[in-house]
Amino acid sequence: MAISIYDQFVPVFTQMLSALDKVLSKAEADAAARKIDLEVFVNGRLAPDMLPLTRQIQIMTDQAKGGASRLAGQESPKWPDDEKTFADLHARVAKTIAHLKSFKPEQFEDAEGRSVELKFPNATFNFTGKDYLLNFVIPNFYFHYTTAYAILRHNGVPIGKGDFLGSR
């Protein structure tokens, strides 16, 4: 039996978003223990020209909600990028998980061949569903998740590979 687009996407991204939520909770606890203002982490960057933690999480969740929507043949919901606190980030992650859980496997039937068009101000990209998932959504999702994780780790939050993966 072939693995479906749904199986490659919805359960996996849900697990990773749940892991991120726990990582954020560990960061909050660590900040409290070390008496660090949470804004240090929320606005943290790995380099001056990189996006801060909040933006990494916004983009990561956009990849999840947009990817699932497009692969299911639906319009992606538009959410404002106005998160400023850990509570806001937890809420965004929870909203993304709820969005993913709203999909059923049958909505992804024939998704690998579905046409996906992404329009940006300076470019338009056209994909098959398979190429969109494998060459755009997954790499972008993990890039921004890894960067968010690395920002927190760089700031001394005691997290490891098990936290990243959401090990049980």
* 115-150 pLDDT per residue, tens: 999 998 999 999 999 999 999 999 999 999 999 999
Reported as a single tens digit per residue, the pLDDT across 61-100 is: 999 999 999 999 999 999 999 999 999 999 999 999 999 9
Q: How many CB atoms lie within 10 A of CB 92?
A: 24
Residues 6+ apart with CB under 8 A from 105: 4, 6, 7
Residues 6+ apart with CB under 8 A from 143: none
* Whole-structure pTM value: 0.95
Sorted by where each begins, the domain ranges of the chain are: 5-105+122-165
- Yes or no: domain 5-105+122-165 corresponds to CATH 1.20.120.450: yes
* Helix (H/G/I), strand (E/B), else coil: 126: strand
Report the candidate in 91, 110, 109 with the shortest Cα–Cα distance to residue 99: 91
